[in-house]
């Protein structure tokens, strides 16, 4: 376990949707920097290997097997972290359930599921975290949005709407919680190869994305996790209500 920078030493964090992808790597990086990390996902078979790997590398982690797609679920996850370790410092709202559909094909059950996991859980998570964060120490909340909140593509009406909504609630929560020393920021990744995005990727599309990206490559889960950890850290102590775009420059250029 990398111990060069232990700037999260003793802090308690919860990462939702941490069974794979960006959430998994974020949990790993937080633990490497000293945090006690709650690894959340829907199934134990996703959560436990991540917890075991963090512990094997010398970090501290605990399992939070919970469906965070409801107010009760995310509140229970936050409360578990607080009760087990006596404090709560960092919430990373990363969980998502994504389907891309053309506008005529969008069904109520698809929209409801995407909203429950990807938007409502963010609001309920911020509510739960703010309720247990120490008013003297404050805390940090990082919401995972997307560059789709800023510029969109075909068949992404619901997804883009949810991610744009995350930026809106991030700013609003930052305004409300700043007096309690709670910083609220968002990270906006571009398309990153993960288990969850595999169904929407192919070699031709990836090549097109690389060609449009000034830095000449796709992002990685490590890139995004570094951005999340930065926003959660004291290095960003005077940053709140921000949307950190981690995309190799593709969103704001036109190659």
Residues annotated as catalytic are: 159
* 205: CB partners within 8 A, 6+ apart: none
- Report d(CA 122, CA 128) in Å as an integer: 10
- Report d(CA 50, CA 15) in Å as an integer: 12
What separation in angstroms does the CA of 200 have from each of 4, 67, 159, 192, 193? Answer: 37, 24, 13, 11, 10
- Report d(CA 185, CA 174) in Å as an integer: 7
Our CA dihedral for 24, 37, 139, 125, rounded to 10 degrees, sits at 60
Residue pair 232/140 in contact by the 8 Å Cβ criterion: yes
Residue pair 182/161 in contact by the 8 Å Cβ criterion: no
Residue pair 123/93 in contact by the 8 Å Cβ criterion: no
Q: Roughly how many angstroms between the first and final C-alpha of the chain, as a whole number?
A: 39
- Pairing type for strands 139-144 and 60-65 reads unpaired
Instruction: Give 3-state DSSP helix, strand, coil % of the chain, rounded to 5.
Output: 50, 15, 35
């Amino acid at each position: 376990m990398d111990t060069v920078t232990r700037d999260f030493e003793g802090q308690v964090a919860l990462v939702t949707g941490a069974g794979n992808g960006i959430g998994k790597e974020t949990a790993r990086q937080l633990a490497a920097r000293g945090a006690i990390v709650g690894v959340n996902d829907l199934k134990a078979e996703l959560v436990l290997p991540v917890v075991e790997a963090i512990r094997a590398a010398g970090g501290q982690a605990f399992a939070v097997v919970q469906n965070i797609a409801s107010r009760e679920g995310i509140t229970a996850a936050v409360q578990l972290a607080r009760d087990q370790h006596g404090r709560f410092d960092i919430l990373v709202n990363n969980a998502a359930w994504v389907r891309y559909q053309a506008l005529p094909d969008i069904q109520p059950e698809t929209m409801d599921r995407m909203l429950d996991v990807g938007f409502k859980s963010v609001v309920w998570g911020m509510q739960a975290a703010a309720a247990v964060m120490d008013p003297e120490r404050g805390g940090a909340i990082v919401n995972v949005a997307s560059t789709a909140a800023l510029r969109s593509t075909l068949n992404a009406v619901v997804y883009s709407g949810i991610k744009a909504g995350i930026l809106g609630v991030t700013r609003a929560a930052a305004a409300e919680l700043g007096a309690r020393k709670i910083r609220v920021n968002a990270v906006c990744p571009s398309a990153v190869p993960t288990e969850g995005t595999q169904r929407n990727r192919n070699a031709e599309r990836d090549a097109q994305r690389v060609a449009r990206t000034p830095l000449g490559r796709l992002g990685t889960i490590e890139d995004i996790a570094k951005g999340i950890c930065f926003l959660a850290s004291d290095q960003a102590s005077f940053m709140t209500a921000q949307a950190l775009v981690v995309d190799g420059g593709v969103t704001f250029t036109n190659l």
